Structures are given as structure tokens and as C-alpha cells.
Structure 1
Amino acid sequence: MTAVLVLNADLGPLHRVSLKHAIRMLCRQVAEIHDSEPDRLIGVYPMPKVVRLVAYVVTRWRHGRGPAWSRTGVLARDGRRCAYCGKPGTTIDHVLPRSRGGSNSWLNTVAACGRCNQRKGDRTPAEAGMPLRTAPWVPSWSEFTAR
């Protein structure tokens, strides 16, 4: 199922939703199609790629701290690339292992391939001799919605 970008009434990006959720928004008339795939229909609606809300939604909370930590968010932040070797990353690795007091936070987790994650094990990158190619960071909302 494809993701559909949701724009605020002022055309600012808000988030992505499933195609099913976007169709529900169109049926309830809280959104309208901003961009769609040509020649593809779902019932009476063209296949939406981008929908725009009819009424403006205040998003003050987005100007404060960034998005909450999640496994999906870490993979998206790192471009689904292993932080150790650069190959496709499918797992999450804790830079400071949880058994040593590490936490699930943006600054302590990176995307990793299964091989590197297994090789690093319960050690820090320095102990394993596996330097990080990029340091983990806390993404902002604008970086998160742009992907």
C-alpha cells in the first residue's frame, strides 16, 4: 500500500498516511486531492499521491521538540543504510548497549545491517573496532516529513 502525503491548508507538509486513510479523508470531505496519479481511479476518485486539508490545522507542537523516537523513524533518518558499513540496514543497533545503560533514544540508536549488528554484539563501537560512518542525531519535523 502506498503512502499519501498530507498537506495543511497553507500547503505545508504535515505527515504521511496510508492510501486507505487518504480515501476516508476524501469521503469525509476533510481533504481534497492536490496531486494524483493520472489514469488510475479508485471508484470515483483518482489515485491520490498528495491530499490537502480543507481547514487549516494549528501545529504549534511541531515547532517544539522533534518527533518521538521509533524504530521506523531511526531507519528513515538513516536512509535505511547501515551506520557501520553502508549496506542496506534493516535492524536497529544501540551505540551504547541497553545492557550497559543505553536507552531507546535518537542519539543512542542507528540503523544497522544484520551482519554488523551481530558482529558488534554487546560492545561499544570502539570496543568492537567498528567506527560509525555518521553520528546519530535528533531529526527535526521538517527533515522527517521531507522523506
Structure 2
Amino acid sequence: MRGMVGRSAAGVLAVTTGAYGNSQALHAPVLVLNASYEPINVCAARRAIVLVLKGVAMAEEENGHFLHAARVAMRVPSVIRLLEYRRIPHQTRALSRKNILLRDRNTCQYCSLVLASGELTLDHVVPRSRGGLSTWENLVACCHPCNRQKGNQTPAEAGMKLMREPRSFNLHTSRHIMRLMGRSDDKWRKYLFY
């Protein structure tokens, strides 16, 4: 079957038609809304489908793809809404690889190359061997060639320049990123407060 994604005990999963290549359909970004329709996150389509199938969320908008499995045929969501309100503390997000890549929009901060999450690494701007800490202000997304070129040096020593100064990733930053991502998906616009 065209667009085969993987096998499970339940059968074969396949994704057909739409704007993305079939192999990328389950990795497409999905806007997550709180029960109050407030945008709170972005996740992969695969995670969104799991939340819908578990009854934790419902699809508000769809992206044109269909998921076919042994007992299920459903549209792949573009926007989902949680069925129960989740209190979201308005503070800095947890420091994690996922959040660093989200903050940097999967873009190497040295050469501006946009890559899939698996093709990026995290770079310490000030190397750990020189006292650099794992903080929001010292970690950036980086492609493997730039990471090798920079090595155990500061960007200035390596003759490299950061695209922008790294900073913490708070709720304001994540909403800004959601707005930027929403420009590529018109279905998100009515949920994002410009």
C-alpha cells in the first residue's frame, strides 16, 4: 500500500493524500488548544492522533491526510482541542532538547539550515570544558557539520556567528512560534491571537 508508515499489532498503518509526503504526514505539526480554545502547544500529528483516539482531545481541523489501520480510518488533524481544561503555569518551559529545537525552529543557529529534529544536535555556545552550563542562554540547535567545525571553541574563536542570541523559552516565546508556524497552515489562524 502506498504511504506505508509502520506496523503494529493492530495491523498496518498507512497515510494517503495531502500536502506532505506520505512519510512525513505523521510528523506534521498540530496545534494543541486547551478546552478554552487557548493555544498551548504544538505536537506531531502522531501524538495528536493518539490523544484523539484515547478520548483526551478532539480534532477541530484536519489537514487532508487519512490514516488507515486495521480497525480505524480517520482524518489526520491539523488542530486538536483538549476535552478537559489543563492549567498551564505561565513560567519558563522546561529545558529539554525538544524545547530548544522548538525555540530555534529546527534551524541551525550558525548556518540557518532547517533540518528534521533527528538531524540536529545541541551545541553549548560556551563549551562545557570551559565552564559553559546547560542553560537556555548557552544551548542552541546546530547541524552536525557546524558542530564539528566549532568543536571545543567559542563561536568567536571558530570564526562563526550565531543567528540570534539564545534566550529562555517562555509562554510568550512559544506563542510567537505558534503564530509563525500558523502562517504556513491557514487553519491555525483563527485560533492564534495576532
Q: What TM bracket, shorter-length normalisation?
A: 0.7 to 0.9
Indicate the residue corresponding to 1:37 in structure 2: 63
CA distance in 2, matches of 1:33, 1:22: 8
Moved over 4 A (4+): 17-21
Give the deviation of 1:103 after TM superposition.
1.5
Structure 1 match to 2:126: 96
What letter corresponds to residue 5 of structure 1 in structure 2? L
Q: Deviation digits for residues 47-77 of structure 1, max 9, x if unmatched?
A: 3222212232222x2x12x111122322222
Tell me the amino acid that sits aligned with residue 69 of structure 1: L
Describe the shift of the 1:124–1:12 C-alpha distance in structure 2 as closer, same or farther (beyond 3 A): same
Moved more, 116-125 or 39-48: 39-48
Q: Separation in 1 of the partners of 2:139 and 2:65?
A: 42
Identity, in percent, stands at: 38
- TM-score normalised by length of structure 1: 0.78
Figure out how many residues of one structure are paired with residues of the other and give that number.
144
Provide the TM-score with structure 2 as the length reference. 0.62
Question: 1:132 Cα deviation (Å)?
Answer: 2.1
Change (3 A) 1:20 1:115: closer
1:26 corresponds, among 49, 52, 55, to 52
CA distance in 1, matches of 2:111, 2:44: 32
What does residue 127 of structure 1 align with? 157
State the distance in 2 between where 1:110 and 1:39 align: 33
Task: Confirm whether residue 50 of structure 1 aligns to residue 76 of structure 2.
Answer: no
Q: Which has the higher contact order (CA 8 A, sep 6+)?
A: 1
Let me know the Cα RMSD of the aligned residues.
2.6
Q: Which runs of 5 or more residues in structure 1 are unaligned?
A: none
| C-alpha spacing 1:84/1:76, structure 2 compared with 1 (3 Å) | same
